[in-house]
Structure 1
Amino acid sequence: MAIKKKPVSPRQKMINLMYVVLMAMLALNVSTEVLNGFSIVEESLNRTTVNSAKENQVIYDDFEAQMKSNPAKVKAWFDKAQEVRHMSDSLYNFAEELKLAIVREADGKNGDVKNIKGKEDLEAATQVMLAPGTGKGTELYKSINSFRERILAMVSDSVQRSVIESNLATQIPANAMSMGKNWQEYMFEGMPVAAAVTLLSKLQSDIRYAEGEVLHTLVANIDVKDIRVNSLNAFVIPNSQTIVRGDKFSAHIVMAAVDTTQVPEIYIGERRTNLTGGLYETICNATGDFTLAGHIEMVNGSGERIRRDFSQKYTVVDPSATVSADLMNVLYAGYSNPLSISVPGVPLTKIQATMTGGVLQPVGPGKYIARPSAVGKDVTITVTSTNTGRAQQMGQFTFRVRKLPDPTPYIAMTDEHGNPTRYKGGGLSKGNLLSADGIGAAIDDGILDIGFKVQGFETVFFDNMGNAVPMVSDGTRFSARQKETFRKLSRNRRFYISRITAVGPDGIQRSLTTSMEVIVK
């Protein structure tokens, strides 16, 4: 629907000019016969207001009709239109009550706005609008301001806003302000009845004009949602193009620039299908490549039936998943074993995994830490996917659980370039030996690098008679006695570090069977 606002006619422009001239003549105290000219302006304003009201009523009637035929589309704008009607009628009727009150103040209780006798009365308007305690001028001032702000909030066009704001302005000239007058005093103090009534009639005309501008804006907003495009295409939007056998294939079948308040006719192949919200689902019991094809039929804004074909390929695969140990092919009890878990075609955020015989902790998308609880008891990891909205098992994987192997003892030091290194036996300079604090132990085979805490060890020296002289360490550190013996060792003398005890991250204390031979260089 497109309703255009009529431009201001030359006749209306002349009426507006007459209104300005008559006001100027009144200010010059022209004879009372001039007041009869206000009747001409009053009648013309009333005709204009009636015509505006009729035009507005046409739009209201159209809103009613559209509301019945398509409430989902029209309701929001219909409600706004009713709000505009309510606040416009409220201010319009208030102005009408004031007109009647002023005329009756001048002509008595039987006064008639359409037949004013005391047009020249200068006290009636002042009494009704400005009397202390009962004057309605302040209330009218506030009502106009409130109406103007609420109406402007519904109009986006800058030209319309400017016209409405000007028509409903409540500013007064600077000279009036300098005399200490407010808006209601400036407008109604000492104003003849004919002029006061005409001012209120003009306000009523401005109200109906503003009401009409907002209604046209609301109607335009409804029209924006009509299907009026030159390119319409059908689309299939699948939840996933790769489907696990036994799971559902789900896809939304829509038309570009679709009007969601109208339900299109959807055909799969040549058979019409009733789909809730355009959602198509089918159980996939066989693997392979498939195609969902059909067409959509819909009626556009001009009543023409349009058709658009659609086609979407998808693949159905067998359940599969991949679980790989980041460090090795077994899991170690009591140790945080890192795992990576993935499923082809499924986002990592849609994958879940559980484990028997221990704890499986997620640490990121597709990343887990497995901690088996018992040595020798296999664990099973179960992988599920929620890619299609429901849990689907993708596979189970069994791992053997082993005890962490024994570590290798070493002495921490630096090489000739200052890089940290681990001495594990053989020739060792006396300077490096004396600078060492103690020994460490770790599984260090190029794949694993798991540190152990050394609890104690012995060094075994041989005297000149070939007798073994064992010395106990101070925990993980060399004892003072051992250090003193190091200082006395001559070149190519040998000693052994043995009977090492250490505890790993699994909490198991173990005695290492290996010993370290040190040759002083």
Structure 2
Amino acid sequence: MAIKKRPVSPRQKMINLMYVVLMAMLALNVSTEVLNGFSIVEESLSRTTANSAKENQVIYDDFSEQLKANPAKVKAWFDKAQAVRRMSDSLYNFADELKVAIVKEADGEDGDVKNIVGKEDLEAANQVMLAPGRGRGRKLYDAINSFRERILAMVTDPTQKAIISSNLSTDVPHNIQTMGKNWQEYMFEDMPVAAAVTLLSKLQSDVRYAEGEVLHTLVSNIDLKDIRVNSLNAFVIPNSQTIVRGDKFSAHIVMAAVDTTQVPEIYIGNRKMNLKDGLYETVCSRTGDFTLAGYIEMLNGNGERVRRDFSQKYTVVDPSATVSADLMNMLYAGYSNPISVSVPGVPLNKVTATMTGGTLQPVGPGRYIARPTAIGKDVTITVSSTNTGRVQQMGQFTFRVRKLPDPTAYIAMADEHGNPTRYKGGGLPKASLMAADGIGAAIDDGILDIGFRVLSFETVFFDNMGNAVPMVSDGDKFSDRQKTTFRRLARNRRFYISRVTAVGPDGLQRTLPTSMEVIVK
């Protein structure tokens, strides 16, 4: 497997710059709010360190495979790689222990390095690193020096040696502020927790970087980086195979195992192309299916001309998008309406949507919650695509906005199998009636299931003379008077639940126009 040695990335350079700026701001005694910036650097350093660890693990795995294939050749270098791993892990883990100790000193035993509460605490680092008799700063100082000396002995590139030596330096600058201070005092004395943790994270990142440089040096000694190929193939790598009319089709045309000392000749339709970095672009003015075809020519090691054909299909479509309300073909004011948004041929993470007349909140790829604000006022949803690197509007969609319909009152109970059910009128066993606490209300029509809060209701009974006797509830619960009346009801007697007042998720209060007839069985 090829192991590509990469220079310091722009992102890593930016992290280093952010670290320097934040340290400078801290030295100027800026407001403690600035300490939150260390969290950004800490997260970036952690990601960079994790990526370095993954790359190093790939090399370790390749060492293991090479050892199985050729033990005699690889054994010595494999053993050195394992020694590098042990001493790197030792310093890395020690720094990790110190981070935990400092955070727990500031936040207590429940302290979490990833969620520091006392970022501005100036005493925690002093106690852990500089406390007389038990401070661990001197031990860290010695560990860094030992690691640096051993690791530099394994690096042959002077430039890399200088970088590693600078990263792991324990020299103290000579100025008035540092006069008389040792390294650990210079680094951790009166240092806020957030800054101390970031310093240790930077040390961990430097350890993994140095570990990787040594591994690349060891790899080169067993030809692990050499790749010998016996096949050349031409490839077209498009940015997208589905193109919106008026947008660009972009594709990289490359040959596998390219010789970097010579540029291949690319022909499309028997016409030689002058493409920068092999990037081909053309404006797509017609819809339909198209094929990009041609061939690449280059010289092999023997000076022979090698030709490889390539072919790539792509599709050009008209601008289009799809917006559908998950519940029905309208939106309800004051309610969280689920919305699905998609564009044919465009990944969901490249599709965005906005709405007028309310809010549109993303809740997942292609999923939104729409909340219109005004009843009777249409809203417009605009869909855009960033599939080709620029924002392109794909369509606009208008929805009507209406008030939530009235709910239906019910009594919550269980059926003969113990499953929850909603009684909405008709025959009802007296035992079930007596077990019920009150009533609820909801829009429950098979499409919507929206709960309402019942504020009050009435039960209407009829005496032996046929006179109506209304009784008021206790909020959404049956009152004591109502329950006493239930106990006296004979079989086949009926009463009505009416004048139900409820409030929905839209905040509107309403009195239901219908009554529920209850027949006691």
TM-score of the pair, normalised by structure 1: 0.57
Match of 2:177 in 1: none
How many angstroms apart in 2 are the aligned matches of 1:485 and 1:441?
23
What is the total number of aligned residue pairs between the two structures?
Answer: 314
Match of 1:489 in 2: 489
Query: Measured at CA, do residues 222 and 445 of structure 1 come closer, stay the same or move farther in structure 2, by a change above 3 Å?
Result: closer
Query: Measured at CA, do residues 438 and 296 of structure 1 come closer, stay the same or move farther in structure 2, by a change above 3 Å?
Result: same
SS in 2 for 1:507: coil
Query: After the TM superposition, which residues 98-113 of structure 1 pair with which residues of structure 2 at under 5 Å, given as runs?
Result: none
Cα drift, residue 304 of structure 1: 3.2
Structure 2 unaligned spans of 5+: 1-147, 158-216
Higher-Rg structure is 1
- The CA RMSD measured in Å over matched residues stands at 2.7
> Are residues 1:339 and 2:342 paired?
no
Match of 1:327 in 2: 327
Match of 1:350 in 2: 350
Cα drift, residue 230 of structure 1: 3.0
Query: After the TM superposition, which residues 471-510 of structure 1 pair with which residues of structure 2 at under 5 Å, given as runs?
Result: 471-510=471-510
How many angstroms apart in 1 are the aligned matches of 2:427 and 2:151?
94
Match of 1:314 in 2: 314
Q: Letter of the 1:299 partner, please give it.
A: L
Query: Measured at CA, do residues 278 and 494 of structure 1 come closer, stay the same or move farther in structure 2, by a change above 3 Å?
Result: same
> Are residues 1:363 and 2:357 paired?
no
> Are residues 1:459 and 2:455 paired?
no
How many angstroms apart in 2 are the aligned matches of 1:419 and 1:149?
69
How many angstroms apart in 1 are the aligned matches of 2:261 and 2:311?
24
CA shift digits 1:178-203 (9 cap, x unpaired): xxxxxxxxxxxxxxxxxxxxxxxxxx
SS in 2 for 1:431: helix
How many angstroms apart in 1 are the aligned matches of 2:150 and 2:240?
53
Query: After the TM superposition, which residues 101-500 of structure 1 pair with which residues of structure 2 at under 5 Å, given as runs?
Result: 224=226, 229-500=229-500
How many angstroms apart in 2 are the aligned matches of 1:346 and 1:233?
29
Cα drift, residue 280 of structure 1: 0.8
Identity %: 80
How many angstroms apart in 1 are the aligned matches of 2:260 and 2:345?
32
How many angstroms apart in 2 are the aligned matches of 1:387 and 1:237?
15
Query: Measured at CA, do residues 512 and 306 of structure 1 come closer, stay the same or move farther in structure 2, by a change above 3 Å?
Result: same
Query: Measured at CA, do residues 429 and 230 of structure 1 come closer, stay the same or move farther in structure 2, by a change above 3 Å?
Result: closer
How many angstroms apart in 2 are the aligned matches of 1:369 and 1:362?
6
SS in 1 for 2:514: coil
Query: Measured at CA, do residues 152 and 434 of structure 1 come closer, stay the same or move farther in structure 2, by a change above 3 Å?
Result: closer
Cα drift, residue 451 of structure 1: 0.5
Cα drift, residue 411 of structure 1: 0.7
Query: Measured at CA, do residues 476 and 220 of structure 1 come closer, stay the same or move farther in structure 2, by a change above 3 Å?
Result: closer
Match of 2:188 in 1: none
Cα drift, residue 295 of structure 1: 2.0
How many angstroms apart in 2 are the aligned matches of 1:223 and 1:443?
67
TM-score of the pair, normalised by structure 2: 0.57
Query: Measured at CA, do residues 147 and 369 of structure 1 come closer, stay the same or move farther in structure 2, by a change above 3 Å?
Result: closer
How many angstroms apart in 2 are the aligned matches of 1:221 and 1:151?
21
Cα drift, residue 323 of structure 1: 1.8
How many angstroms apart in 2 are the aligned matches of 1:520 and 1:147?
92
Q: Letter of the 2:319 partner, please give it.
A: P
Q: Letter of the 1:476 partner, please give it.
A: D
Structure 1 segments of 4+ aligned residues over 6 angstroms from their partners: 146-152, 217-223
Cα drift, residue 338 of structure 1: 0.9
SS in 1 for 2:422: strand
Cα drift, residue 270 of structure 1: 2.5
CA shift digits 1:452-497 (9 cap, x unpaired): 0000011111222222111111000011111111111222222111
How many angstroms apart in 2 are the aligned matches of 1:352 and 1:154?
51
Cα drift, residue 379 of structure 1: 1.2
CA shift digits 1:429-450 (9 cap, x unpaired): 2211111111100001111111
